[in-house]
């Protein structure tokens, strides 16, 4: 697929470029009245690239359920993860804070001291306090000492019911043995992790959810992260292609998400449920993993992949369905970050965001009325081990993105609206703009750097 076809596929074609903000939005804004708390599903993929879904232009991967979700709701063309790597991106979703503030700097190996500290306030904790039933299924990856009293677990961060793993499902994503349900190891399981976590979510909704409460359900898939394991029926769809295991894995995740959406329909919950689907970072950089060739994720037209500060590392699919609030088929070009989820869910639930600490994310409800998001804090990313070195820091304001090194001595500047592939560095030709952005970035960078805790 060429760039033009891709942009058309993701809704960035010439016709939509002429439209301000978000095209085709409804006039009603929910979450402003008491007793109007929607149910919430936040589905997160692991290492799913910007170009990996059919509705984002992938030429081969079939994702009919996500295509349908986008057709029934809103597709974000400029959706970001809070970091180009797993754990920080997840910490960003849970806290609404750029992950460097909470000290979740990198992906967390098992037994590592790094973790999302108890004093961090998560969106699950806030929603639970406001009367939500809360559930997490799938990959957690916000601590090193999983299911240990030494560090907070999903229940300590607001999830009443959890069926989770520290990082990947092990030994593989087929027949895993490392799931823990509410503090108790589950032991050997049969099946693929996407199916297992969705089934747990369905069981929770059917059997355990107290229907007098709204629910908040986080479905954090392991797919399509390594070690990729795909059911034969999904492999068969791509028979003859070397990428069959990866393409099939994305389709399998899509199928399972579809099963969850069907359950919402059967329970007559579709209209009162806000669903958001996104990814924790860009596609795997290495397609060699322990001698195998299993990762074939696509950043679409973007530069870089996972672990990069260029768009391929951080820009991800973002799909929202919220019937009667978000008009079907809406395409939105407003930049949205994973750190916006906390403020957005709080606004929907009528909950105050924490005021005793910096919250970087912003409530995105205005985009459902076709308005722009007014940010107090610009979109900011930092990853010290970025493969795009020397560029380990990035900031976006409007259409403009600045990249920098940690010492704020080297810079690149791109206009993402004109140059989605970040091919044309305009640092030398936009002196006024880059001077202003450098100043804003340096101030923000220093402030965030000072807040980040040190680990032993
Ligand atoms: Ca990841």
What pLDDT does 290 receive? Answer: 58
Cα(255) to centroid(ligand 1), Å:
20
| Same fold across 3-378 and 380-451 | no
The pLDDT value recorded for residue 456 is 82
User: What spacing in Å lies between the alpha carbon of 162 and ligand 1's midpoint?
Assistant: 20
Instruction: Give the environment of ion ligand 1: residues with CB less than 5 A.
Output: 46-47, 86, 280-281
Confidence bin at 281 (pLDDT 50/70/90): very high
CA 342 distance to own-chain centroid: 12
> Which single residue is written with the structure tokens 């609206």?
417
CA 255 to the chain's CA centroid: 19
Residue 38 · residue 31 · CB < 8 Å: yes
d(CA 86, ligand 1 centre) in Å:
4
Residue 86 token pair: 């797993």
Q: Give the pLDDT of residue 13.
A: 39
**Residue 139 CA, ligand 1 centroid: distance in Å:** 10
Contact criterion met (CB below 8 Å) for 382 and 122: no
Tell how far the Cα of 207 is from the centroid of ligand 1, in angstroms: 31
Mean pLDDT over all residues of the chain? Answer: 92
Percent of the chain past pLDDT 90, that is, above it, reads: 89
Q: Give yes or no for a contact between 378 and 393, defined as CB atoms under 8 angstroms apart.
A: no
| Stronger pLDDT, 412 or 6, i.e. the higher one | 412
Poorest-pLDDT segment among 63-67, 153-157, 291-295: 291-295
Q: What is the mean pLDDT of residues 46-66?
A: 98
Query: CA dihedral in degrees (195, 225, 170, 151; nearest 10)?
Result: -100
End-to-end CA distance of the chain: 48
- CATH for 380-451 is 3.30.1120.10
**Can you give the pLDDT at residue 321?**
98
At residue 213, the 3 state secondary structure works out as coil
Q: How far is the CA of 184 from the centre of ligand 1 (A)?
A: 25
Residues above pLDDT 70, as percent of the chain: 91
Give residue 52 CA to ligand 1 midpoint distance, Å.
14
318 CA from centroid of ligand 1 (Å): 15
Please state the domain extents for the chain: 3-378, 380-451
The helix/strand/coil state of 413 is: strand
Q: Is the pLDDT of residue 221 over 90?
A: yes
In a 10 Å sphere around its CB, with 0-12 CB exposed, 13-18 middle and 19+ buried, how is residue 374 labelled?
A: exposed
What's the gap in Å between 287 CA and the centre of ligand 1? 14
Fold topology of 3-378 = Alkaline Phosphatase, subunit A (3.40.720)
* pLDDT one-digit tens code per residue, 233-265: 999 999 999 999 999 999 999 999 999 999 999
Does the pLDDT at position 26 exceed 90?
Answer: no
Contacts of 203 (CB under 8 A, 6+ apart): none
Q: What is the DSSP string of 112-123?
A: -S-B--TTSPPH
Ligand 1 centroid to Cα of residue 221, in Å, is 10
* pLDDT interval class at 285 (50, 70, 90): confident
Tokens found for residue 59? 């030429």
pLDDT at 289: 55
CB neighbourhood size of 441 (10 A): 22
pLDDT of residue 292: 58
Ligand 1 centroid, distance to 305 Cα (angstroms): 11
> How many residues in total does the chain contain?
456
- Evaluate the CA torsion angle 285, 377, 347, 417 in order and state its sign: negative
Q: How far is the CA of 88 from the centre of ligand 1 (A)?
A: 9
Which CA distances in Å does 196 have to 97, 150, 244?
30, 27, 21
How close is the Cα of 280 to the center of ligand 1, in Å?
5
Distance 198 CA to ligand 1 centre (A): 19
Residue 291: per-residue pLDDT? 53
Q: Record the tokens describing residue 419, joined without a space.
A: 């140059």
Spacing, Cα 47 to ligand 1 middle (Å): 4
Average pLDDT value for residue range 204-220: 98
Tell me how far the alpha carbon of residue 167 lies from the centroid of ligand 1, in angstroms.
9
The rounded Å distance from CA 84 to ligand 1 centre is 8
Q: Give the C-alpha separation, 49 to 315, whole Å.
A: 8
Distance 168 CA to ligand 1 centre (A): 10
Task: Choose among 216, 136, 133: nearest CA to 183.
Answer: 136
pLDDT of residue 223: 98
């Amino acid at each position: 697929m060429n760039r033009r076809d891709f942009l058309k596929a993701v809704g960035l074609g010439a016709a939509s470029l002429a439209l301000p903000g978000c095209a085709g939005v409804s006039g009603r804004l929910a979450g402003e009245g008491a007793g109007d708390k929607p149910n919430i599903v936040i589905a997160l993929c692991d290492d799913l690239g910007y170009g990996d879904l059919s509705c984002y232009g992938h030429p081969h991967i079939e994702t009919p359920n996500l295509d349908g979700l986008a057709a029934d709701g809103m597709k974000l063309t400029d959706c970001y993860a809070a970091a180009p790597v797993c754990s920080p991106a997840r910490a960003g979703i849970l806290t609404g804070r750029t992950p460097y503030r909470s000290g979740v700097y990198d992906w967390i190996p098992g037994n590592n001291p790094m973790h999302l500290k108890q004093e961090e306030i998560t969106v699950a904790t806030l929603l639970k306090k406001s009367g939500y039933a809360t559930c997490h299924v799938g990959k957690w990856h916000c601590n090193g000492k999983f299911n240990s009293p030494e560090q907070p677990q999903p229940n300590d961060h607001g999830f009443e019911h959890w069926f989770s793993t520290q990082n990947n499902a092990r030994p593989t994503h087929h027949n895993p043995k490392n799931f823990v349900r509410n503090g108790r190891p589950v032991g050997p399981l049969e099946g693929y992790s996407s199916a297992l976590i969705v089934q747990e979510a369905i069981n929770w909704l059917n059997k355990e959810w107290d229907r007098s409460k709204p629910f908040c359900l986080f479905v954090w898939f392991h797919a399509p992260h390594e070690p990729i394991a795909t059911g034969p029926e999904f492999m068969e769809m791509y028979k003859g292609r070397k990428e069959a295991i990866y393409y099939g894995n994305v389709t399998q995740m899509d199928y399972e998400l579809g099963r969850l959406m069907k359950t919402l329909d059967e329970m007559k919950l579709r209209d009162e449920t806000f669903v958001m689907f996104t990814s924790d970072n860009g596609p795997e950089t290495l397609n060699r993993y322990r001698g195998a060739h299993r990762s074939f994720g696509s950043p679409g037209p973007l530069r870089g992949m996972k672990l990069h500060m260029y768009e391929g590392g951080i820009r991800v699919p973002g799909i929202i369905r919220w019937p009667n609030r978000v008009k079907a088929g809406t395409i939105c070009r407003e930049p949205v970050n994973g750190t916006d989820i906390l403020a957005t869910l709080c606004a929907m639930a009528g909950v105050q965001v924490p005021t005793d600490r910096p919250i970087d994310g912003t409530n995105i409800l205005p985009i459902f009325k076709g308005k722009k998001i007014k940010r107090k804090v610009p979109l900011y990313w930092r990853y010290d081990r970025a493969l795009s070195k020397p560029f380990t820091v990035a900031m976006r304001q409007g259409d403009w993105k600045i990249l920098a090194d940690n010492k704020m001595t080297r810079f690149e500047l791109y206009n993402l609206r004109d140059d989605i592939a970040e091919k044309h560095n305009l640092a030398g030709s936009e002196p006024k703009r880059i001077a202003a952005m450098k100043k804003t970035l340096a101030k923000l960078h220093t402030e965030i750097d000072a807040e980040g805790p040190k680990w032993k």
